[in-house]
Structure 1
Amino acid sequence: MSAVSPPLGYTGGRSLGSGGLVWFNAGWIVVVAAALLTLLGSFSIAITEPTLAKKQLMFAVLGMIAAAAACLPSHKLLSKSAWYLYGLSIILLLLVLVPGTPEWLVRPKNGARRWINLGFFEFQPSEIAKLALVLVLAKWLRRPPSISKWRGFFAPFAIALPLILFILVEPDLGTAMLFIPPVLAMLLVAGARKRHIATLILGVLVIAPITYPILRPHQRERVDALFAQFRGDDRYARDIGFQADRAMTLVGAGGFWGNDHAHAEALVRNNHLPEEHNDMIFAVICCRAGFIGGFITWCLGLLYAGGAVVCALSTRDSFSRLIATGIAAIVFTQIAINTGMTLGVFPVTGITLPFVSYGGSSMVSGWLATGIIFGLGLRKPRNLESLGGVR
């Protein structure tokens, strides 16, 4: 029996604007959270680096333009472009690794090859690769074969594996780790059994210690420094553990309410914290605004991730739901790891705080993801067939 189409103009109780767009949607939660995090980051960077703060605002404007453009594609166009974006990500990740690439284009930093020089800022291909992974997985998992069985897990992890391996070679262990949570979250939303997901997570936790011998020397030293810190041993505090030690000192200096601008600026400058405007920006926030500032940062991050989840729950097709879930998983994981390494809970891995840490790639890709989520809320197809059914 064929389904009966609703009357022309029926919106399911939602108010539509011009052109049949749902202007009042959960995507606004994500947009507001991203904007507030961007402002918080710019103000925090300005404490010691006013020039970089101005550049960060320029990156934010560029990101917002990208977000506006990302709102435009229909669900069908997003679905069709997924594999093209994935292929582009592979090419860009290979470009930074290929020997002989001109240094003006790919300049190694601290022994790592992660950035492509675009002149006005350095682009990190792994940022766009995260979005590509989410789109391709959403396309694949919207009608997954046997997802309730173990064999249904093979294709999603096979899709993620090349991206993870190329990023590990850069080397960038922290960013490579970010590709696992969205895969698990999207598998769960797609209908995978919870006990299978739990078994995978438990397996990773059991296997993780076994991988210690194959880590690079500096990665092993960071793990050693973390456990030494847990034991109260400060022998690494002036060596590989210097950054983490300085970060926790700044966090402690902030207390509950923080410090005034001049005092916070002096504390940050005299602390000599490496990457205080980038990976360790959360320490600067806590120094300036104390526990309250750190709590507000976390609340805004949870608002973003929660808004993406609300947007996922409010959509009427699995493709949109999976995209929003994947982005929410990435953002939440980044916030947890970045703040955790600042507080001495995780090893320092170089993961940025979304919208807050300084950097053009992180800012533009973050706003691009925000625009995609908002665009999903603008257009809500009635069923999967409206996506064209093309793999």
Structure 2
Amino acid sequence: MFDRRLLTHFDWVLLLVVGMIAGIGILNLYSATSSWATSATPIYLKQIYWLGMGLTIALVVSSIDYRHLEYSGFFFYFGNVALLLVVLLFGKTSMGATRWLNLGVFNLQPSEIMKIVIIITLARYFSQQGHFRGFNLKQLVMPALLLGLPAVLIMKQPDLGTAMLVLFIGGSMSLFAGIRRSALAVLVLLGSAAAGGGWFLLKGYQKQRILTFLDPENDPLGAGYHIIQSKIAVGSGGFWGAGFMQGTQSQLSFLPERHTDFAFSVFAEEWGFTGSLVLLCLYLFLVIWGIYIARRAADMFGMMLAVGVVAMLFWHIVVNLGMVIGLLPVVGVPLPLFSYGGTSMVTTMIGTGLLLNVSMRRFMF
């Protein structure tokens, strides 16, 4: 029998904020791609279709009690790891990367799905293995293995940005679950050593991205072109911006990838500091509201699910914005609900559905 309290406790605030950000993103995509001469379906219309599909999926996810996921988390995990292996063997290669499975109707990117799967898997582990004093190094071996396996497979594609996000999500959930100070100190030292040694494991273009981040003017017409044009676009917006569809960097096609990785650069040029501040406030509210949902969760599993989704959104926002203004290397991370991308939109909306799910069932025990 359907519990009417679920409708009473439906989180309209969360859905409204998500809809506002996605709506602004669609308008921005219309402006960013208005000068494109093509007979294909316009990018902004495709984004509307993906948003509609994502919203439907989010409502379906929110209607199924999230506690059922606790018992199927590891099945999802091993199934997705198997998909990552299939990608490496039979995946579709594009622009030097093998990240997709061609399913005929659409291309599936298992690395994006892994972000949701790792949230569910670690939420189950930490909710069942919680320790009052926090986890020690021995108790963190299993989460490290659960994180390390998909991260290595994603790095092999190669996809440094997604691998980093999977590790950031898992690390954030681990910190929230609690780590003893002695274990945390050892992990910091090991992480620092791994970061230095990891340089020799990077592909040539990945090393070039880091060198370009340190000195983009060293190759202004080559590797540094993207970030230089992005910073020019953001800076030229000034306080009020150039106006809707009036940005020279985007309208005159100086700015590459302006519908995906650098969508925020287009928005900052057209709406300036004022518009950017409004958008950042919406993202800040979304993150804070997600933390609020986690605090009110009915059980530890629901709390960890919400924390994982918030971590996913937070790190996407931080990495993308840091990337487009030159504070972080360019690693191809989209801005949630804003950059064009079907898989990214669906993944974000699945996370939204999980937040709605936890929020709606906060009264159930």
Normalising by structure 1, we get a TM-score of: 0.85
For 2:66 and 2:23, locate their aligned partners in 1 and report how far apart those are by CA, in whole Å.
30
Aligned partner of 1:212 among 187, 196, 199: 199
| C-alpha distance 119-251 of structure 1, shift in aligned 2 (>3 A) | farther
C-alpha distance after superposition, 1:190-219 (max 9, x if no partner): 233356446534542454233223211111
Paired residues of 2:229 and 2:249 also in contact (CA < 8 A): no
Aligned to 2:32: 48
Which of the numbers 326, 331, 337 marks the counterpart of 1:344? 326
State the 1:34 CA deviation: 1.6
Q: Which has the higher contact order (CA 8 A, sep 6+)?
A: 1
How far is the alpha carbon of 1:112 from its aligned partner? 0.3
Correspondence 1:135-154 to 2 at 5 A: 135-144=120-129, 147-154=134-141
Report the CA distance between 1:118 and its aligned residue. 4.5
Residue matched to 1:179: 166
Shift of 1:75: 3.1
Aligned-partner Cα distance in 2 for 1:22–1:295 = 33
Identical amino acids, percent of aligned pairs: 28
Match for residue 288 of structure 2?
306
> Is 1:110 the equivalent of 2:95?
yes
Residue 260, structure 1, aligned to residue 243, structure 2 = yes
CA distance in 1, matches of 2:17, 2:196: 36
For residues 22 and 164 of structure 2, what CA distance do their matches in structure 1 show? 24
CA distance in 2, matches of 1:303, 1:382: 26
Q: Which residue of 1 aligns with 2:17?
A: 33
Residues of 2 paired with 1:333 and 1:145: CA distance? 24
Q: Distance in 2 between matches of 1:365 and 1:192?
A: 28
CA distance in 1, matches of 2:60, 2:30: 29
Match of 2:208 in 1: 221
Q: Structure 1 114/55 Cα, relative in aligned 2: closer, same or farther at 3 Å? A: same
Q: Is the contact between residue 305 and residue 328 of structure 1 (CA under 8 Å) also seen in structure 2?
A: yes
| One-letter amino acid of the counterpart of residue 128, structure 1 | I
Question: Is the contact made by 1:66 and 1:371 (CA closer than 8 Å) also made in structure 2?
Answer: yes
> What is the letter of the counterpart of residue 347 of structure 1?
P
Q: Is the 8 A contact 2:298 2:361 kept in 1?
A: no
Mapped to 2, the partners of 1:45 and 1:120 lie a distance apart of 24
- Is it true that 1:124 corresponds to 2:99 in the alignment? no
Q: Is the 8 A contact 2:29 2:259 kept in 1?
A: yes
| Distance (whole Å) between structure 2 residues aligned to residue 285 and residue 194 of structure 1 | 42
**Alignment coverage as a number of residue pairs:** 355
SS at match of 2:218: coil
Of 337-346 and 122-131, deviating more is 122-131
Whichever residue aligns with residue 145 of structure 2, its letter is A
Query: Could you list the runs of 5+ residues in structure 2 that have no partner in the other structure?
Result: 35-41
Of the two, which has the highest radius of gyration? 1
Normalization by structure 2: what TM-score?
0.91
Preserved contact between residue 277 and residue 358 of structure 1 (Cα < 8 Å):
yes
Q: Which residue of 2 aligns with 1:93?
A: 84
Cα 1:222–1:67 change in 2 (3 A) is: same
1:57 aligns with 2:57: no
Report the 3-state secondary structure (helix = DSSP H, G, I; strand = E; otherwise coil) of the residue aligned with 1:113: strand
Shift of 1:296: 2.2
Alignment correspondent of 1:7: none
CA RMSD of aligned residues (A): 2.1
Q: Give the stretch that moved more between structures: 254-263 or 241-250.
A: 254-263
Separation of aligned partners in 1, 2:259 and 2:347: 18
* 1:317/1:382 contact within 8 Å kept: no
Q: CA deviation at 1:56?
A: 0.2
Instruction: State yes or no: 1:282 paired with 2:261.
Output: no
Picking from 157, 164, 167, the partner of 2:144 is 157
Deviations 1:78-135 (A, max 9, x none): 212212221231122222211xx3xxxx431210011233455433211111100000
Preserved contact between residue 335 and residue 353 of structure 1 (Cα < 8 Å): yes
1:70 maps to what in 2?
Answer: 61
Q: Quote how far apart the aligned CAs of 1:271 are.
A: 4.1
Quote the offset at 1:285 in angstroms.
0.9
Q: 1:168 aligns with which of 138, 150, 155?
A: 155
2:357 aligned residue (344, 355, 375): 375
Rounded Cα–Cα distance in structure 2 between residues aligned with 1:225 and 1:76: 46
Name the SS of the counterpart of 1:263 in structure 2.
Answer: coil
Contact 1:315 1:377 in 2 (8 A): yes
Greater shift after overlay, 339-348 or 78-87? 78-87
